[in-house]
Amino acid sequence: NAGVTQTPKFQVLKTGQSMTLQCAQDMNHEYMSWYRQDPGMGLRLIHYSVGAGITDQGEVPNGYNVSRSTTEDFPLRLLSAAPSQTSVYFCASSYGVEGVHEKLFFGSGTQLSVL
Amino acid sequence: AQKITQTQPGMFVQEKEAVTLDCTYDTSDPSYGLFWYKQPSSGEMIFLIYQGSYDQQNATEGRYSLNFQKARKSANLVISASQLGDSAMYFCAMREGSGAGSYQLTFGKGTKLSVIP
């Protein structure tokens, strides 16, 4: 029972490099999202998806792209990494129905450093 | 204005004592959900408890309870009989609205709880 799987766990990039953070869930969740966590800031929403083929921007979308070609996968792409994108990134998913089952299931996080 | 406010950056509690972590929220939507998550030093996010805006009773999950005061827009987490393993960051979060597109959560900045033996 894998839940939400994020890879890699750690990554170091140089300014200007691009990369993709992978996220996969095996719970058949319709809703998936990406958050970043910075010290003293809590978690802030980057992008989210309510189903395959549907994505939308969150609070801090600049510098990131997403796509949702399948229900299971929701990759996050950094187009040209900047030091301001140094953060811990969390992928999360849920059933997308209101009530207690709307709780988010989180991946274990990716710690990204941009030099 | 912040949608979720956690006014206690850090708190200490004696082992076996109860502790209350504060959370106030701001929304004009009649439909919303409130969540508490725990983040231990290992970094994972652990769901603790959920309260819906239309729920008549305060939510409880084992040693966790949510003191929901709708008129005051507060959703405080109460942990009874604190254990050393409760030392962690605690985040309050809110979902606003209903229907597709409303399931994203807004998080507070967190409270760091330290349990003293």
Q: What's the pLDDT tens digit per position in B49-58?
A: 999 999 999 9
Interface A:B, Cβ pairs < 8 A: 63
At CA A36, angle to CA A76 and CA A28, rounded to 5?
55
Tell me which residue of B52, B54, B96, B99 sits closest to A45, measured CA to CA: B96
Q: Given A48, A90, A109, which is nearest B104 (Cβ)?
A: A48
pLDDT tens digits for A50-73? 889 999 999 999 999 999 999 999
**Total number of residues shown for chain B:** 117
Question: Cβ separation of B104 and A108 shorter than 8 Å?
Answer: no
φ, ψ at A14 (rounded to 5°): -95, 150
φ, ψ at B6 (rounded to 5°): -115, 110
| Contact between B64 and B77 (Cβ < 8 Å) | yes
The distance of A18 to chain B (nearest Cα, Å) reads 25
Question: Cβ separation of A102 and B44 shorter than 8 Å?
Answer: no
Query: Mean pLDDT for chain A?
Result: 93
The distance of A81 to chain B (nearest Cα, Å) reads 23
The residues facing A74 across adjacent strands are: none
φ, ψ at B10 (rounded to 5°): -145, 150
Q: Given B44, B91, B101, which is nearest A43 (Cβ)?
A: B91
Contacts of B35 in chain A (CB under 8 A): 103-104
Distance from C-alpha of B2 to C-alpha of B40, rounded to nearest angstrom: 24
Q: pLDDT tens digits, chain A, 115 residues: what are they?
A: 679 999 999 999 999 999 999 999 999 998 999 999 998 888 999 999 988 999 999 999 999 999 999 999 999 999 999 999 999 999 999 987 666 667 889 999 999 999 9
Residue for token digits 């953070």? A21
* Strands A10-13 and B60-61, bridge-based pairing: unpaired
